[in-house]
Amino acid sequence: MNKPQSNGLKTLGKYLILTVALALFVGPLIWMLSTMLKTKAETYEFPPSIIPNPITVESFERLFSVQPLMWTWIGNSFTISILIVIGAVISSSIVAYGFSRFQTNHRKYLFPIVLATLMIPPSIMMIPSYVLFTKLDWIDTWLPLIVPAWLGGAYYIFLFRQFFMTIPHELDEATYLDGGGRWVVYSKVIMPLSKPIVVTTVIFAFVNSWLDFLGPFLYLKDNAKFTLSVGLQLLIGQTSQDLPSLSAGAFISIIPIALLFLFAQRYIVEGVVLTGSKG
């Protein structure tokens, strides 16, 4: 077999693998979109069809009529996620600024300790955290979900610290010569230059909060305080036979995440690449 034919087979094999991978990832999404536009009767037809006939949006009407708290859950999810994002960016960037700029004898010991917390499984901390929040009388409030984000996250601290290390120290020194202090360096120099990693952290923190089920399920008791992820789980018990409505609820839950990745994917790539460029 000559070389051009061999290269052609390799290329064909790559495209086949990519096609299979695309089908595995996109297939469930296409099926969800198809189901939410069908009537209830059509979802039980065999063989199933991909293209709805007729196309209808009745599933959304039934979804909001069966569960009037849907808008409340969506608003709760947005409020909690935005507060968590703000807390994660502010607290983690301040801690990372200290690790990247402050010359202390204990820095080389403290940063590995912060990274070591990444190896602690969240399940181990579940019971101690619940006991702590119970003693603080925070159960059935949003505080257990929001406050920890304002105390810094090890992963986000790592991202910020690595990115800050790529910013020249000469900029700090120029600011000091102009009469600025450490806070001016952080707020006026470092953060404006860190847009890629800020956007990356915003997306990661928002997605983690928006998709979080265990935290809200564990700490929230009042239905009106539920997030969308917990509310959709409650909805399954109410409309378990209404597949189009369930698909409509799932579609609503992925819209914010899809929009975030659509408009900010360039910053994610840039932030991650620059984060790993200096140790």
Q: Which domains does the chain have, with CATH numbers?
A: 3-59 (no CATH), 61-275 (1.10.3720.10)
Region 32-48: mean pLDDT is 78
Question: Mean pLDDT in the chain?
Answer: 84
140 neighbors 224 (Cβ within 8 angstroms): no
**Alpha-carbon gap, residue 276 to 279, rounded angstroms:** 7
The whole-number pLDDT of residue 245 equals: 83
Residue 135: pLDDT band (50, 70, 90) is very high
141: left (phi over 0), alpha (psi -120 to 50) or beta: beta
Rounded mean pLDDT, 140-148:
93
- Rounded Cα–Cα distance for residues 243 and 252 (Å): 14
Has residue 278 got a pLDDT over 60? no
Average pLDDT over residues 207-220: 90
Residue 97's pLDDT band, with cuts at 50, 70 and 90, is very high
Q: What burial letters (b/e) apply to 221-238, b meaning 16+ CB within 10 Å?
A: eeeebbbbbbbbeebeee
* Nearest residue to 158 via CA among 119, 123, 209, 184: 119
Chain centroid to Cα 151, Å, comes to 18
In total, the chain counts a number of residues equal to 279
| Interval 62-72: pLDDT, tens | 888 888 888 99
Instruction: Select the more confidently predicted residue: 132 or 42.
Output: 132
Q: Distance between CA atoms of 9 and 276, rounded to whole angstroms? A: 35
Name which of 14-18, 49-53, 164-168, 275-279 the model is least confident about. 275-279
For residue 52, count CB atoms less than 10 angstroms from its CB and return exposed for 0-12, middle for 13-18, buried for 19 or more: middle
Question: How sure is the predictor about 108, in pLDDT bands with cuts at 50, 70 and 90?
Answer: confident
pLDDT at 134: 93
CA distance 135 to 152: 22
What is the reported pLDDT for 4? 62
Max Cα-Cα span within the chain:
76
Across 185-214, b (16+ Cβ under 10 Å) vs e yields: bbeebbbebbebbbbbbbbbbbbbbbebee
Write down the pLDDT at residue 240.
Answer: 63
pLDDT bracket for residue 275 (50, 70, 90): low
% of residues, the chain, pLDDT over 70: 91
Distance (Å, whole) CA 200 – CA 78: 18
What confidence category does residue 142 fall into, taking pLDDT thresholds of 50, 70 and 90? very high
Tell me the whole-structure pTM to 2 decimals: 0.84
Do 245 and 66 touch, CB atoms closer than 8 A?
Answer: yes
Residues near 123 by beta carbon (within 8 Å), at least 6 away in sequence: none
Burial of 16 (0-12, 13-18, 19+ CB in 10 A): exposed
**CA-to-CA distance for 139 and 118, rounded, in angstroms?**
25
For residue 48, pLDDT over 80 is answered with no
